[in-house]
Chain A
Amino acid sequence: MAAVPMEHVFVLAWVLFITGLVGVLVRRNLLFILMSVEIMLNASGLAFIAAGFKWGQPDGQVMFIFILAMAAAEVSVGLALVLLAYRQFRSLDADQASRMRG
């Protein structure tokens, strides 16, 4: 069962998470920011699965199912907000929404 060392799986999850984090920090398009958040959620889910596999418990998969439900709720609200922001500012630039009313 020592086929794939757990460290490699965690390094992979770490690399994917950092990629998503860089995407959130670098891109200014709202859709790209949402996609990068999805990448980060997926990477953390991968870490949960790997931990659950290491100890042979189903808890990691249960946690992934919770992450999945959370991602679905997050992305539905987030995309509705993207639509609203596009109607408001006529662009998807996140920096356009830097001013408050009043």
Chain B
Amino acid sequence: MEGVFYMAAAVAVISTALVIVQMNVVHALLYLILSLLSAAVIFVTLGAPFVAALEVIIYAGAIMILFVFVIMMLNLGTQSAGMERQWMRAGMWAGPAVLALLLLADVIYMLAVSPRVSGYAAKAAGPREVGIALFGPYLIGVELASVLLLAGLVGSFHLGRSVRQRLPEEGEAGGGEGD
């Protein structure tokens, strides 16, 4: 189990360091997804499988999809086509692929020794305990989180709507930049 943890930790540190030195946003996103996946593997070794599933579904799924949507909506101009050709070399995906293969080996090893893993995580708090704690003593936190999510929803809706409303005015005033 220690080996699984240390390998996942190494993958997390390497991919996180590579996120902040990338020049291309999409390459950085690949490494960021890898960093979140390795964090999920670490959570499993720390006896939190429920949170690991949430990490994969919400962080590496939903939030990263938001990033990809925004990068697509930004559509950084026509010069990006030439840069894209320059970036899409065969070696570009080698780094994330190697790190992801390390993580996959980690997970396969954990599945192979799964009786020991479940014994290891016997002390850990499963989804049942988390749910009881979440809707027992932390109920006020759940309510506050729901208010926060509502505020985020209203805020992002307002910002997105003001973009759409301002665009025709900009088109009339500025002679149309052609978005």
Contact = CB atoms under 8 A, between A and B. Distances in A.
Interface of A: 1, 3-4, 8-9, 12, 15-16, 19-20, 22-23, 26-27, 29, 31-32, 34-36, 38-39, 42, 45-46, 49-50, 52-53, 56-62, 64-66, 68-77, 79-84, 86-87, 92
A46 B45 CA distance: 12
14 contacts: A3-B2, A4-B45, A19-B16, A29-B25, A35-B19, A57-B133, A61-B51, A61-B130, A62-B130, A68-B55, A68-B59, A76-B66, A79-B69, A84-B163
Interface string B26-59: 0011001001100100110111101100110011
Contacts of A79: 66-67, 69-70, 156
Contacts, number: 177
Shortest 6 CB-CB contacts between residues of A and residues of B: A73-B152, A23-B20, A58-B125, A80-B159, A58-B129, A69-B145
B144 to A, nearest CB: 8
Nearest to B128: A58
A92 to B, nearest CB: 8
B74 A86 contact: yes
A92 B71 CA distance: 11
Q: Is the interface of B mostly helix, strand, loop or mixed?
A: helix
A61 B53 CA distance: 12
Contacts of A62: 130, 133-134, 138, 141
A42 B98 CA distance: 22
A91 B9 CA distance: 35
B13 A15 contact: yes
Interface of B: 1-2, 5-6, 9, 12-13, 16-17, 19-20, 25, 28-29, 32, 35-36, 39, 42-43, 45-48, 50-51, 54-55, 58-59, 62-63, 66-67, 69-71, 73-74, 120, 123-125, 129-130, 132-134, 138, 141, 145, 148-149, 151-153, 155-156, 159-160, 162-163, 166-167, 179
